[in-house]
């Protein structure tokens, strides 16, 4: 009789541990669980409206790389059909998770083809970068008002 009670107790204990482990509670009841804090939810590390607005506004440029956690978008060289001897590329830096004008920086590189057919660096008007930043900020505000980009 004693042997059957012992066997019954062991069977019940094993059933309890199996049942608890299936729901993830065994580590809290028995011990030995992972005491590490839970990871934060995964998302982009910068303002979603600025990110989306940057991609929308500069969609005519070929996208090279995009790092949503670091907030950097690199675009490749682009030549308009109307000016094949000139090309531009841009990099967008999103510096904050808030929708602010100082959370955005756009740099533009420009090259022109010389007489030998080689691409050489050319000056870019600072107003060009400012105009692109303003266009991105305007689009970001539109997205925020529409409730998109989170």
Q: Which residue has the higher pLDDT, 113 or 8?
A: 113
Distance CA 70, CA 39 (A): 18
Percentage, residues of the chain above pLDDT 70: 69
Of the given ranges (53-62, 124-133, 140-149), which has the lowest mean pLDDT? 140-149
| pLDDT, tens digit (0-9, with 9 covering 90-100), for 25-35 | 444 444 455 55
pLDDT of residue 112: 97
pLDDT at 142 over 90: yes
Of the given ranges (27-31, 87-91, 137-141), which has the lowest mean pLDDT? 27-31
Tokens of 124: 């870019």
């Amino acid at each position: 009789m004693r042997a059957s009670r012992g066997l019954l107790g062991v069977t019940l204990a094993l059933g309890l541990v199996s049942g608890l482990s299936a729901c993830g509670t065994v580590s809290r009841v028995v011990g030995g669980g992972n005491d590490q804090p839970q990871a934060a939810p995964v998302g982009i590390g910068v303002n979603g409206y600025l990110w989306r607005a940057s991609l929308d506004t500069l969609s005519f440029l070929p996208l090279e790389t995009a790092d949503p956690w670091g907030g950097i978008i690199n675009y490749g060289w682009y030549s308009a059909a109307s000016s094949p001897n000139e090309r531009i590329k841009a990099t967008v830096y999103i510096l904050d998770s808030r929708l602010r004008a100082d959370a955005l920086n756009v740099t533009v590189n420009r090259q022109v083809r010389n007489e030998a057919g080689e691409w050489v660096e050319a000056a870019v008007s600072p107003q060009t970068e400012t105009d692109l930043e303003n266009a991105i900020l305007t689009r970001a505000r539109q997205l925020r008002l529409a409730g998109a980009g989170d």
